[in-house]
């Protein structure tokens, strides 16, 4: 009565599988979030600096970059997952599983995160940049000693929003066999009418999102001295 039938029993949840799926979700989330910040933060800084009237104003470069970012953001994630397959194979050697999900997650989230970083930098008082210039700061010093520290509350909030968005993206990663809680909810909860699995997975996702938001809010409060 175990194995196949255990999954069908309506009130007998396979906690082992749910646990594994939860772990998959967390691994995807952590891996893609770190990579998104590594790619998206410099991208956001460049978007900001090349903007009109900014430190390294480059209208043409800014326009091109801005178009690429908008283009990537306009592709629905489920389609990006499939379009990315050749590139994903090139990057991580497989288009399947948790590893295969991370590159499309990053490509989907990094442009979004970069925009959030750009707008966090725009919130920084231009007077602070001017003061740094008047002190004889180099452009690099202005970015690392003035702009980024001043934008830190905004950037921490941007990481939080991005992490929450990534949780919902991971639910679609089942398309490439990445597993995770969202995948479990679709395959068992929806396709096999196991309402209890649906409820449990959604509840777990909710807990993850809540926890991320609370953690993010605490970090924002910690780095904010306004």
Contact footprint for other proteins (CB under 8 A): 125, 127-128, 130-138, 141, 145-146, 149-150, 152, 223, 225-226
Residues near 65 by beta carbon (within 8 Å), at least 6 away in sequence: 43, 46, 47, 50
What's the min distance (Å) between Cβ of 142 and other proteins? Answer: 9
Based on CB atoms, which residue is closest to other proteins, 151 or 165? 151
Select 182 or 216, whichever has its Cβ closest to other proteins: 216
Indicate the SS3 state at residue 9: coil
Nearest to residue 110, comparing CAs of 169, 186, 62? 169
Q: What is the nearest approach in angstroms of other proteins to the Cβ of residue 31?
A: 29
Task: Calculate Rg over the CA atoms of the chain.
Answer: 21
Nearer to other proteins among residue 94 and residue 141 (C-beta): 141
Q: How far is the CB of 51 from other proteins (least distance, A)?
A: 17
Alpha-carbon distance of 96 to 6, in angstroms, equals 26
Nearer to other proteins, 72 or 137 (CB): 137
Residue 13 beta carbon to other proteins: minimum distance, rounded to whole angstroms: 47
């Amino acid at each position: 009565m175990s194995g196949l039938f255990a999954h069908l029993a309506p009130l007998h949840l396979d906690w082992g599988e749910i646990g594994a799926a939860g772990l998959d979700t967390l691994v995807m989330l952590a891996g893609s979030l770190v990579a998104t910040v590594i790619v998206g933060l410099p991208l956001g800084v460049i978007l900001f600096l090349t903007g009109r009237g900014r430190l390294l104003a480059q209208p043409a470069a800014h326009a091109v970059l801005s178009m690429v970012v908008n283009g990537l953001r306009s592709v629905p994630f489920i389609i990006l997952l499939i379009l990315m397959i050749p590139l994903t194979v090139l990057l991580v050697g497989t288009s399947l599983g948790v590893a295969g999900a991370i590159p499309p997650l990053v490509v989907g989230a990094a442009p979004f995160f970069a925009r959030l970083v750009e707008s966090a930098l725009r919130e920084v008082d231009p007077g602070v940049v001017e003061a740094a210039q008047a002190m004889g700061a180099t452009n690099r010093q202005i970015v690392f000693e003035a702009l980024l520290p001043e934008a830190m509350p905004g950037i921490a909030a941007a990481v939080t929003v991005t992490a929450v968005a990534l949780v919902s993206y991971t639910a679609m990663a089942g398309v490439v066999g990445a597993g995770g809680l969202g995948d479990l909810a679709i395959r068992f909860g929806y396709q096999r009418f196991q309402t209890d699995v649906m409820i449990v997975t959604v509840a777990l996702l909710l807990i993850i999102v809540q926890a991320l938001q609370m953690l993010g809010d605490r970090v924002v409060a910690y780095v904010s001295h306004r």
